[in-house]
Structure 1
Amino acid sequence: MTLRALILASLVVNLAMAVATWRLWPRPSSRGSGVLAERTVVFNNGPLRTSSNGLRIDITITNSPPQFRWQTIARDSYTNYIASLRAVGCPEQTIRDLITAELTEENNRQRRALLAPLQADYWSHAMRGLAEALNDYEEKIDLIDARTTDQIDILLPQAKQGPVHFSVNGAQTGHLPVEKKDAVKALHERFSLAAAKFMDDPGVTKEEKDRQKKLLQQQLDGELKQLVTPEDYAEMQLRGSRHAEALRGMIGLDLSPEEMRKLVLVLERYEKSPGGSKPGQPGAEQKKAQEQELRDVLGDRYESYVRAQDSNYGQAYRIARRFDLPPETATQVDDVRKSVGEAAQALGKNSQLTRDQRREALLAVQREAESTVREILGEKASDAYQRVGGDWIRSLSASEPQP
């Protein structure tokens, strides 16, 4: 072979080796910046450090167990959570308390999110009665509660001890931001625990319990005033008033939110005024002035306000709503009830009637009352009303008339 051929062959071989070396040489990942990736792993025996293809792995060895933290327990599911708690020796009662508390808090979060619109617009919903406003939410609330109870029963069947009661921020704090709601709730819980210490003590007299409870209430009010604005505090007091609760329970009374607030303010003011025959009740003069202020707020609806406080009218009103009847039908039924009551009273006082004559007259009044109510409500609604609110009709034949 000539020298020229040898040189050419050598060049070809060197070129082939260079290409092969270039192809086989490791390169930084195209996804990175060229910096070696690092990873550290903890084992319990002996050091080890290795690197491969540009990935360096540092393995540090220690004979000391890692510090225990609750956060290190796997919580992909409550089943794993319970298993992990048991694995570290957590007592069963503590596990039950932890799981129940977490599920209950989750229940509260779901309820708060669901009821937030209702609580924020409290007075608008209160004027038609919060019980009625809650009807739109009952099915969803029941579903949330059922899911929570089922979870507790499935995860901790041995912990089932009757129904689980859930708590949630009520309408009294519905106008507050979430963080203020939670702060107010925590404040009340702290004072409740403080009160429980002496309220449950059999060695403390009733008088002393009342005195300490009054002092705690004053302290609670003082801290609340520091926690929320004066406007928010006044709104909380107004919503928490027993008069606000009573107005919420009234039906058939068409009030605007502002009118309802005014009514509560009037009732609160006269309740606290001196001169009443009993604590918390206005005297005769105050009642007269109170009635006038209520009339000023309500105008022609004052009589409806008085009627709405009558449970008998409430029964007729609910039946009318249930069967999509005009509200006036409830008023008509209630007027019949009052007229029948007056007639029965007159018959009872009529000394010229014999016992049989009086009984026959009462039966005639009863038949007329049944007929009139059926005519007003219709057959189905009348039958329903007789079952829930017809005691005054049945009593006409059940009672023993006296001369």
Structure 2
Amino acid sequence: MRYAATITFLLVLTAVNGWMNWRMWSNARHPAILPTTRIERDVQVKKIGQQEIFRPQRDESHASPPWAYLETEDYLQFASNLRAAGVPERTLRDILVADIYRNMEEKQVKLAEDAPDTFWMNADQRNAMERAKFRKGVEMKNAQFDLTIELFGYPMNQHALQTSRDEGQMSAIVRLLFGYLDREAFIQLMGTFEYFEHRSESLVALTEGILLDDDIAELNTQADGINEALDKLLTPFEKEELFLRYFITGHYSEMSHAENGFEATGAEFRQAALIVSTPHDLLREAFLSAVDTPEPTDEMREAAEVELAKFLGMERYEEWARAKDERFKEIYQKTKIAKLEKADAVKIFNSLDTAEAQVDSIYADEELKPEEAAVLLIAVKARALSEFKKVVGLRMKPEQRQELSDEIFSELGKLPEEFESEDETKPGQETRKDAR
């Protein structure tokens, strides 16, 4: 039985093998019955020694992608094709700006590669070559901005688009300055800033920082151009808000005095910033850093202070002015560490302010002899220390109170060097009267 089963299995295997051979012979004679259709491709044969390498060629019969019918080297025509195809304006801008930026990068790489060998050049020749290369790069970037103005109606570059998508610390600063604007207005604003910043920086670089009258006039013309562009892009409120936020960002330490005891409301802070920023030409301060922009005059600052006092009221204004005083800042921080109240810091500051005014009057009295002035200064300091003890009372331990009073009043009532007597004046040394 086992022998018969083995013979049967071999016969079946032989039959299957014969059927498969017949099938392959039949397909070779009648290709039409093949289940799939072969795609004939031209091949390129290249012999290397005894080996043959087959490289399939591109099949030109395949239809080109629809995108190829829109692309052209003429960017104006390219933009027209995209608009005709219904491509959204933002998508169109992203496509074209990225392509323009890529082409500019390729040209810059080629410009660097085409630089001649500098081995035999002297310093002047190398400097001239570098300046020519830099000038060429500036011209290329100018052409890029000019093209985007022609395409979109406003300047744009890749960096402006990237800034609108950045995350992290830079994004937080951008939101602080421009968060009130919609995204499209912000992108156009960034492109405008990039354009004028490039123009001003390249002008300064090409002149190597040596600005003649014509250069300064050109920079001021550019500042006027920024102002006109802002008027087109922003409403009057948005423009005022932009300058206000810029000023607050740059002068926050001068405006915010919460750490010194002056808690301003949002309305107070905003109006105070508007008033204080009035004497400043913020546009030129922001974009003409290479030019010495005029500082606000004393009259302009005083006028702003008067307006601020009217807005805040005298009591709040005095509180704000005191919070700006470096002496009060120091006293307030030290009393805060000592767990004293703000009212205590104000009393100590007033006492110190009064004492310093008395000291100044003693210094100014040229009729006083040194020993008389010393006695008066000691008396002034004693009264200030007495007031300090009354303010602090028993809320501090004696050693802590002594340490704090030394920190605050250590410089009060010192006898200046110019109080030396005429007899003690050394040859060639000025007397107090001569020094004044």
TM normalised by structure 1 equals 0.48
Which has the larger Rg? 2
Higher relative contact order (CA 8 A, sep 6+): 1
TM normalised by structure 2 equals 0.45
